[in-house]
Amino acid sequence: MTFHYRYRKQIIMVIVTILIMAGIVSTAIYFYEPPPTKKISSIKSQKPTNDIKKEEPLNKYMVDIKGEIINPGIYELTKDSRVIDVINKAGGLTNNADTTVINLSKKIVDEMVIIIYSKEQVNNWKETMEEQNYLQEKCTNQEDAQIKNDACIKIEDDSNNNPKIININIASKEELMTLTGIGETKAEAIIAYRNNTPFTKIEDIKNVSGIGDSVYEEIKNNITV
């Protein structure tokens, strides 16, 4: 009798036991499902930092421009802008504009009001100023007057006895001649120059024929535009 035949019954019982145990384990695995595990993200949430500097807005000025301008109104400009920049932003000047009394290079300020005058207005002012200067001169020079008027305003001085500041864009020939080193010829040359090219800064007077650095140094504290 062989070994397999002698222990056949025991072998069958072992096989049956193994199959039963395998079935039990399979059933347990089938019905038992472990809860899903949460995956921990390796990417950390990025919190906003204050390291990024916000761009600071430029200071803005509001300027009101009116008069002889194409598009009068209120405009917003940067603080380093000039009067000429406001004019350009407003569309430019009308054909009737006269800027001889306007400082085009002047820096703007917030809430500034700019008025561009007409040619008629400027001419009227020039005539009024010339007439005023004539009357003041007649009042001061009273050599043939029976009674001298000591209360006359001197042309060369203001009410505080300070040297008069001459606007070289609108001053008459007589006014210009009150400046040191400016005679009749130079005064006429200044007027001829400004009629074609208004002065935008006092240094421009050196562009006039006959007025060099030495003359400019003598009069620079007594002129304006």
In 3D space, the residue among 83, 85, 110 whose CA is nearest the CA of residue 99 turns out to be 83
- Mean of the pLDDT values across residues 142-147? 59
Span 98-135, pLDDT tens digits:
887 788 888 888 888 888 888 888 787 766 666 666 66
Mean pLDDT score of the chain: 76
Compare 17 and 148 and report the one with higher pLDDT: 17
Output the pLDDT for position 5: 55
* Residue 53 pLDDT exceeds 90: no
C-alpha 111 chain-centroid distance? 13
Q: Give the phi and the psi of residue 2 in degrees, each rounded to 5.
A: -75, 170
Output the pLDDT for position 7: 63
Output the pLDDT for position 159: 45
Span 3-25, pLDDT tens digits:
555 566 677 777 777 777 777 76
Q: Give the highest mean pLDDT range of 15-19, 37-41, 52-56.
A: 15-19
pTM of the model: 0.42
Residue 73, SS3 per DSSP? strand
Span 64-107, pLDDT tens digits:
999 999 999 999 999 889 999 999 999 999 999 988 778 888 88
Of the listed ranges 35-44, 197-206, 216-225, the least confidently predicted one is 35-44
Q: How far apart are the first and last CA of the chain?
A: 139
DSSP label of 82:
B
* Residue 158 pLDDT exceeds 50: no
* Residue 221 pLDDT exceeds 50: yes
Neighbours of 102 (CB within 10 A): 23
Q: How confident is the model at residue 36 (pLDDT cuts 50, 70, 90)?
A: low
- In angstroms, rounded to a whole number, what is the distance separating the alpha carbons of residues 123 and 96? 12
* Residue 39 pLDDT exceeds 70: no
For 120, residues 6+ apart whose C-beta sits below 8 A from its C-beta are 96
Domains of the chain: 60-117 (3.10.20.600), 120-224 (1.10.150.320)
